Amino acid sequence: MLLKSLTLSVIVLLESIAVFGQTDTAIVVLGQGAAPTQVAVTDAPNDGGEALNVSWTPTSQVGFTILKYQLLAAESAAGPFQLMAEVDSKTSEARMSSGDGWKVEPDKPYFIKVVAVDSTTLAVPDSTNPDSVTVRFEKRLRLSESAVVGPTYPIASWFNWNRLNIFLMVMLFYVLVMVMVKRAKAGQVLWFRKIAGIDAIDEAIGRATELGKPVLYVPGTQNIENIQTIASIQLLTSVATKAATYDIPIIVPLNRAFMVTVAEEAVKQGFMNAGRPDAYVRDNIRYMSDEQFAFTSGVTGIMLREKTAAHFYLGAFFAESLILSEVGFTSGAIQIAGTANTHQLPFFVVACDYTLIGEEYFATSALVTRDVEMMGTLKATDYMKAFIIVCMLASMVLELFGVQFMRSWFQVI
Amino acid sequence: MKREIPILITLIFGVFMIVQFFIPHPAVNDIANRLQNWAIIVIAFSYVLGSANILRINGELVYRRGPGWLYKLVLVIAFFMMVIPGMFLGIGEGTWTNDRLFTNTYIPLASTMYASLAFFIASAAFRAFRVRTWQASVLALTAVIVMLGRIPISHMIWHDLPNVVDWVMNVPNAVAQRGILIGAALGAIATGLKVILGIERSYLGRE
């Protein structure tokens, strides 16, 4: 029985090692001297019960050069054991989670053993000459197994305490929003700095009106689940209202099919706000393509063929940002851009007349509509920013004195 | 009720998706995964709407020989050339639709478009680096240093030049970007909260 289990272990280990391709020879021998001791297995906290933490003490015996440790797990003490993780020889703890074809699940028993892998040189009789007494020396991997530990049950947590910092910040922000919305509703005057790009919206639509050419509004290239697209749709209604007021068509090219209905509703709402529902043209909400550069060519084609006079690029943009804004620039249109994608901001800054940078972009809908609830939310954002700046300054001062708790507290896991 | 029910649905699911970020338990995670799958299914159905939109707008223009109708005709033909073989021959690797139409036709066209970006960058940089104000001078000088520091022989110009460029990118540049990111992240959270709490309702369409 013992021989059978040993043979099985060797086969499993051989397969595991072969899979990871880290052998200097395919043949292994079993040893005991280098076996890790004091193996401890505990549930990994703050997860859905899909991992276990394993720690061990390396052998105190001299003469072993450990190459790596392997962690094996089984659902019963008798096995079969499956290789779950491999760590380097300097490590004495590891996290064991689901791997290929083997899943760690909550409330299931797991038996763990840690195997130390080192190499040894063996004297092997020369099989080519049975009569000879000569031997060959071969280098082989030696596996020294710890005792089997278990059963240990992974436990699914109901709260990830590593995210307590984010939870508290979200709660603080929520409270701030509620307080500021209440104050705004009570009639408190909220002050905001002037943003040039917002004033320029009227200027751009005015230019289009003078020229009698359409307005082009690109709400980014992402779907509605992207928060920048949601913010853009809020603005689309406001821009459509202004365009409808001046009786100027607004063309909205779309990169996502799902956006068709959303944009249609937003523009229709804008025309209704302006009291011109009859002027709404459904065909001006155009789905182009999901493909990035097919969409880009389509939009640049609209700019050049329909001679649009005011361009709004508001939303999430990627590599197409510069192509769109440069073609728009050469067409002579007045251009306003806004995005939170920092890598695209320099392109917009260079090619557009006005650019709403990061937070300005999200503030625009509140400042354009002057809706008290939205203004309250915007003020809460300002206070939250002030709180973060204070935290950062405090953290810098504390760091100077060697106190690091704020830095570690703000780390997100 | 036409507006209250959607706002209530947004509130319930919005709060749930925030809460599930803090709860790793499978009971909650399974529901969150299921909801995300629902969203994928809904988005998949929207392609029918998108296709209808393309055909309605462009087909009508072709029918009444409107301005640029020839381009629209090409678009409609290309649309059917992709859809019909795709439905009957499949769209996986090795199929005619994928290999001939997508890999050998569309991808080179898209790459050409992407390559034109280099020329757009050159023309945009030319305008940006015109030294007219002291801010533009600082920008132009920094740009020249960074460009020189990024070329393979930068260390031959001055052995510390790559280090100077690294400092420019990792300190002033990173600081400015992080400042923008913090503001943008708060704006994004605020927008999310506005939608979840029903403060922002424009996505619901007509009042």
Q: What distance in Å separates residue A209's CA from the closest CA in chain B?
A: 21
Instruction: Please name the member of A292, A374, A388 whose beta carbon is closest to the beta carbon of B194.
Output: A374
The pLDDT assigned to A201 comes to 92
Do A389 and A310 sit in the same domain of this protein? no
C-alpha span between B130 and A408 (Å, rounded): 44
List the domain range (segments joined by +) for residue A202: 190-370
Q: Do A48 and B24 touch (CB under 8 A)?
A: yes
C-alpha span between A110 and A52 (Å, rounded): 9
Domain CATH number, residue A91 = 2.60.40.10
What are B140-177's pLDDT values in tens digits?
899 999 999 999 999 999 999 999 999 999 999 999 99
Q: Kindly tell me if the per-residue pLDDT of A132 is higher than 90.
A: no
Do A391 and A309 sit in the same domain of this protein? no
The interface residues of chain A toward chain B in range 195-234, judged by CB-CB distance below 8 A, are: 223-225, 227-228, 230-231, 233-234
When pLDDT is averaged across residues A90-98 and rounded to a whole number, the result is: 85
Q: Do B188 and A305 touch (CB under 8 A)?
A: no
Do A125 and A202 sit in the same domain of this protein? no
The pLDDT assigned to B206 comes to 53
Task: Indicate the number of domains in chain A.
Answer: 3
Do A119 and A219 sit in the same domain of this protein? no
To probe the interface with A, which of B53, B82, B98, B111 has the most A CB atoms within 10 Å? B53
Q: Do A260 and B49 touch (CB under 8 A)?
A: yes
Q: Do B25 and A167 touch (CB under 8 A)?
A: no
Instruction: Please name the member of B39, B113, B206 whose beta carbon is closest to the beta carbon of A272.
Output: B206
C-alpha span between A386 and B139 (Å, rounded): 29
Q: Do B180 and A296 touch (CB under 8 A)?
A: no
Domain CATH number, residue A303 = 3.40.50
Instruction: Please name the member of A166, A297, A340 whose beta carbon is closest to the beta carbon of B187.
Output: A340
Q: Is residue A126 part of a domain?
A: yes
When pLDDT is averaged across residues B20-34 and rounded to a whole number, the result is: 93
Q: Do A160 and B23 touch (CB under 8 A)?
A: yes
Contacts of B50 in chain A (CB under 8 A): 256-258, 260, 287, 290
Do A363 and A388 sit in the same domain of this protein? no
Contacts of B27 in chain A (CB under 8 A): 156
The pLDDT assigned to A14 comes to 44
Q: What confidence tier does B207 reach under pLDDT thresholds 50, 70, 90?
A: low
CA-based nearest residue in chain B for residue A235: B202
Q: Is residue A14 part of a domain?
A: yes
Do A241 and A304 sit in the same domain of this protein? yes
| Number of residues that make up chain B | 207
Instruction: Please name the member of A173, A181, A287 whose beta carbon is closest to the beta carbon of B50.
Output: A287
What are B88-143's pLDDT values in tens digits?
988 888 999 889 999 999 999 999 999 999 999 999 988 888 888 888 889 889 99
C-alpha span between B207 and B194 (Å, rounded): 17
Do A352 and A252 sit in the same domain of this protein? yes
Neighbours of A239 (CB within 10 A): 26
DSSP class of residue A143? Answer: E
How high is the ipTM of this complex? 0.88
* Contact between residue A288 and residue B72 where contact means Cβ atoms under 8 Å apart: no
Q: Is residue A119 part of a domain?
A: yes
Q: Do A286 and B53 touch (CB under 8 A)?
A: yes
The pLDDT assigned to A287 comes to 92
What are B177-188's pLDDT values in tens digits?
998 998 898 888
Taking CA atoms, A412 is separated from A352, B89, B162, in Å, by 36, 48, 32
What are A241-275's pLDDT values in tens digits?
999 999 999 999 999 988 998 899 999 999 999 99
- Averaged confidence pLDDT in chain A: 85
- The answer to whether residue A322 neighbours chain B at the CB level (below 8 Å) is yes
Contacts of A43 in chain B (CB under 8 A): none
Do A72 and A17 sit in the same domain of this protein? yes
Instruction: Please name the member of A174, A257, A359 whose beta carbon is closest to the beta carbon of B193.
Output: A174
Q: Do B184 and A237 touch (CB under 8 A)?
A: no
User: How many interface pairs between A and B have CB atoms less than 8 angstroms apart?
Assistant: 198
What single letter denotes the amino acid at residue A137?
F
Q: Do B123 and A326 touch (CB under 8 A)?
A: yes
To probe the interface with A, which of B10, B21, B46, B197 has the most A CB atoms within 10 Å? B46
Do A106 and A141 sit in the same domain of this protein? yes
Q: What distance in Å separates residue A145's CA from the closest CA in chain B?
A: 33
Instruction: Please name the member of B184, B193, B203 whose beta carbon is closest to the beta carbon of A340.
Output: B184
| DSSP one-letter string for chain B | -TTHHHHHHHHHHHHHHHHHHH---HHHHHHHHHHHHHHHHHHHHHHHHHHHHHHHHHHHHHHTT-TTHHHHHHHHHHHHHHHHHHHHH-SSTTSHIIIIIIIIIIHHHHHHHHHTHHHHHHHHHHHHT---SHHHHHHHHHHHHHHHHHSTTHHHH-TTHHHHHHHHIIIIIHHHHHHHHHHHHHHHHHHHHHHHTTS--GGG---
When pLDDT is averaged across residues A178-191 and rounded to a whole number, the result is: 90
When pLDDT is averaged across residues A383-399 and rounded to a whole number, the result is: 90
The interface residues of chain A toward chain B in range 52-71, judged by CB-CB distance below 8 A, are: none
Q: What confidence tier does A358 reach under pLDDT thresholds 50, 70, 90?
A: confident
Do A68 and A20 sit in the same domain of this protein? yes
Domain boundaries, chain B: 4-64, 121-196
Handedness of CA A338, A343, A346, A351 (dihedral sign): negative
CA-based nearest residue in chain A for residue B174: A342
3-state helix, strand, coil in chain A (%, to 5): 45, 25, 30
* Prior bond of A151 cis (ω within 30°): yes
